[in-house]
Structure 1
Amino acid sequence: MPTLNKIRTALSGTVTRKTRSTPVPPTDPRLARLRLALTAFFAMDGFLFAGWVVRIPAIKAHTGAGTGALGLALLGVSAGAVAFMMITGRLCRRFGSHAVTAASGAAMALSIVLPPLTHSATALGLVLLVFGAAYGSLNVAMNSAAVELIGALRRPVMPGFHAAFSLGGMLGAGLGGLIAGGLSPTVHLLLLALIGLLVAAVAGRSLLAHPAPAVPVAERRPAAERRTGPRRPGRLVCVFGLIALCTAYGEGAMADWGALHLSQDLAAGPGPAAAGYAVFALAMTAGRLSGTAVVQRFGPARALIAGGTTATAGMLLGALAPSAWAACLGFAVAGLGLANIFPIAIARAGEAGGAGGVAVASTIGYGGMLLGPPVIGFLAEAFSLPLALTTVALLAAAAVVIAYGTRGAHHNERA
């Protein structure tokens, strides 16, 4: 009888995959501690990145870079991130996502002090390669850890982690707007580095003290898929990566060019210019805090389609508005629309391919950030920055089309 059961199991394609540890019950208090530690890393990531973003105009003036040269220098962030993402996927498989998350968080905190020390666009681009490498590594590692934790919790809580990123971004941008006129970029980013190192030390210790919960990818797939075999996870990962690319382009554009658009094209002061990214981050935070409920209620496909449509309308307003405050309103609407697209795409890629799936989708997705800075910079020089920013709306619309065309690939799980 045991042999017959094994044969039936093999024929149905539901052979249990062995893992290095026993799956953790979703009510285990260790999961709550891991969730809190990961949330801290997501918040720190957004906080540090926003702190750098709001000082871009000051560093541009310090280096004397033109718009096109600045676009090429900013390319260093995306190039460094994309270059290290696939490497980080392998490191996560070798050393575990928790250890790589802790190390990458410390590296990002240290590297943020480098940009204001440069005196040319070339030097700025080189140090931004280092900063981007740490940023990309942290994003793959902590998203991989989040996917593992989501499998153990059995709830689609990825938007909540990305809400922490957005909240950190909002706080970082808000703080930057308050102190931009009183502190030099060097002192400002040094303070952020100290805060980042403190968070990495405390939250990293918690991650290292608790191993990642063992939830095999096969156990997270729906029963129908386990009976019929996998649905080409490589293809699904690439689809989700392409959706992430369209939206990462928008997030990167807002980070790199939003403040400059408000100050250069709409004559906003340092405070209002920083407020543009702050309201964008606030809207993303609000959208992501409700993201888990939205996905459970409507399913990931509908959430992606609605979000992309909203982002398209909001970014058109933000790019073409005649006043700074109207542009900020458009940025807020765009942030609300973009809020859950990237986390849904990365979570689905992780379900399809584990840490490797997160790495592949993140690499494709952050290709949007790789394309964004030079494309917008060159278009701004050839035409105007407002017109260049309308490409964000164009790609958000493309994400809607892709999500609608592949809606059958989304599993509408209701936890």
Structure 2
Amino acid sequence: MTNRTDDAQPRRARIAVTVVFALNGFLAAMWVAHIPVITDRTGVSHETLGGLLLLLGGSAFVGMQLCGPLIDRFGSRPLTIIAVSVLAVAVLGPVLATGTVSLALAMVAFGFANGGLDVSMNSQAVVVEQAYPRPIMSAFHAYFSVGSMIGSAIVALTLWVDVGVVATVVGAAIFAVVVLALVAPQLSVDDVAATQLSGQTQPRWWHRVDRSRLVLLAIVAFALMLAEGTAYDWSALQVVETFNVPDASGAIAFFAFSAAMTVTRFVIDPIAAAIGPAAVVRIGAAIGAIGMAIVVVSANFDDAQWIATAGWLIFGIGLAGGIPQIFTAAGNLSPVASGQVISAVVGCGYLGMLAGPAVVGLLSHLTSLSSALVVVIVALGVALAFAGQVNKRASTTGSSSIQLS
């Protein structure tokens, strides 16, 4: 194990990882907030978009599962750098698409890169958090929300003043690559060489973890990310199409959701320390269900777009704290093959993110988009039911370095 040489090292790594989380949110917002525009440009229906979102989620899942073993072999730092770079290029694909086939190909590339980045940056976050005496994971995820909020605000502004969509996304991609180049040297270097130098092969990671707890964490991650993914993919469209308002108004709804996630995640770490992560998940799921119920019933009122937007905001408050608690617990389940443990839990979460938006899209073809969102309330009920199984934070006593082993 390589010991920490000075107090500045983990601080610099924390800043670098924070920037990566923000870049991920920023680039994701370039896709999410442009969904109404992209569907108009490509002419895809709700049902087709639901299938394409399923494809995106599937490619993200593949990227996660490939990334986990690579992290344990080469470290999360190089994988994070590669994933951000590829994502910056892939985000151009959806806005350049002209039809269903080109949009499908673009979404496969975007999903693959985003899935790999989700695992690698959370692996980085776990390594950095182990060097701190207090929880900091929710703060990392807060900056993902900061990036989403900034990105969605930029999209709303550029749509409002009629700036070209392609020009907006190209500028965002260039910005992301430049910022990555500035912070990449400060990302933490995982100590992945210790096991390899001993001449031993990597142990089977599932034999080194509490498998029953891993399953419970995966179930809650599935439910929460199903709900979160629905907001990313359908919030803007729900407001635009339910109330027949401009695309910019839809972007505002996603902005409200992102802003609520941002503010709440900045205060979750001390709350989790005070009441425990299980209570954070339980209370958050209940608040999220209330917010989604407001969104659903808003469709029964004329010109109630602001009621729907308020519902999306409350929904964001409820979802803010749950996933960081799950990812921290997963990252600390085992000191061996942390990348594969995280990829398993994040992957199950992405199965939820894959299933939720797709199911909503299919149901919206049979009923209405607002009515289809009842699926999210059911998922949050599952998360609430299993919240008590999200045990206390795994101990990191004795972890005096920002290395994995």
Shift of 1:170: 0.7
1:248/1:369 contact within 8 Å kept: yes
Shift of 1:413: 7.0
Aligned partner (choices 343, 357, 362) of residue 378 of structure 1: 362
| Counterpart in the other structure of 2:204 | none
1:192 alignment partner AA: A
Aligned counterparts, 1:285-324, within 5 A: 285-321=262-298, 322=301, 323-324=304-305
- Aligned residue for 1:114, secondary structure, equals helix
1:394 alignment partner AA: V
| Counterpart in the other structure of 1:337 | 318
- Residue 99 (structure 2) pairs with residue 120 (structure 1): yes
Structure 1 Cα separation of the partners of residues 230 and 342 of structure 2: 22
- Greater C-alpha Rg: 1
Aligned counterparts, 1:69-108, within 5 A: 69-108=48-87
Aligned counterparts, 1:19-168, within 5 A: 19=1, 21-22=2-3, 24=4, 28-168=7-147
1:242 alignment partner AA: I
| Counterpart in the other structure of 2:343 | 359
Shift of 1:195: 1.2
Question: What is the RMSD computed on CA atoms of the aligned residues?
Answer: 1.9
Shift of 1:205: 2.5
| Counterpart in the other structure of 1:349 | 330
1:41/1:200 contact within 8 Å kept: yes
- Aligned residue for 2:373, secondary structure, equals helix
- Aligned residue for 2:225, secondary structure, equals helix
Residues 329 and 206 of structure 1, relative CA distance in 2, 3 Å threshold: same
| Counterpart in the other structure of 1:189 | 169
2:155/2:251 contact within 8 Å kept: yes
Unaligned runs of 5+ in 2: 195-206, 398-405
162-171 or 194-203: which moved more?
Answer: 194-203
| Counterpart in the other structure of 1:227 | none
| Counterpart in the other structure of 2:261 | 284
Structure 1 Cα separation of the partners of residues 90 and 360 of structure 2: 25
2:139 alignment partner AA: G
2:323 alignment partner AA: F
| Counterpart in the other structure of 1:265 | 242
Q: Normalising to structure 1: TM-score of the pair? A: 0.87
1:115/1:127 contact within 8 Å kept: yes
Aligned partner (choices 218, 227, 249) of residue 250 of structure 1: 227
Q: Residues 31-62 of structure 1, C-alpha deviation per residue, up to 9 Å, x if partnerless?
A: 00000000000000001101211111111011
1:148/1:213 contact within 8 Å kept: no
Structure 1 Cα separation of the partners of residues 156 and 75 of structure 2: 37
1:358 alignment partner AA: I
Q: Residues 70-121 of structure 1, C-alpha deviation per residue, up to 9 Å, x if partnerless?
A: 1112223211110110111111111111111111111100111111222212
Structure 2 Cα separation of the partners of residues 205 and 319 of structure 1: 46
2:67 alignment partner AA: T
Structure 1 Cα separation of the partners of residues 273 and 264 of structure 2: 14
| Counterpart in the other structure of 2:401 | none
| Counterpart in the other structure of 1:204 | 184
Q: Normalising to structure 2: TM-score of the pair? A: 0.89
- Aligned residue for 1:156, secondary structure, equals coil
| Counterpart in the other structure of 1:394 | 378
Structure 1 Cα separation of the partners of residues 249 and 292 of structure 2: 18
| Counterpart in the other structure of 1:220 | none
Structure 1 Cα separation of the partners of residues 268 and 308 of structure 2: 25
Shift of 1:318: 1.7
Structure 1 Cα separation of the partners of residues 174 and 312 of structure 2: 30
Shift of 1:203: 1.6
| Counterpart in the other structure of 2:203 | none
Structure 2 Cα separation of the partners of residues 235 and 155 of structure 1: 26
Residues 53 and 29 of structure 1, relative CA distance in 2, 3 Å threshold: same
- Aligned residue for 2:92, secondary structure, equals coil
Residues 231 and 111 of structure 1, relative CA distance in 2, 3 Å threshold: closer
1:410 alignment partner AA: K
1:238/1:364 contact within 8 Å kept: no
- Aligned residue for 1:268, secondary structure, equals coil
Shift of 1:197: 0.8
2:153 alignment partner AA: G
Structure 2 Cα separation of the partners of residues 39 and 90 of structure 1: 23
1:299/1:412 contact within 8 Å kept: no
Structure 2 Cα separation of the partners of residues 343 and 97 of structure 1: 18
Structure 2 Cα separation of the partners of residues 213 and 166 of structure 1: 29
| Counterpart in the other structure of 2:201 | none
Structure 1 Cα separation of the partners of residues 14 and 209 of structure 2: 30
Structure 2 Cα separation of the partners of residues 334 and 413 of structure 1: 31
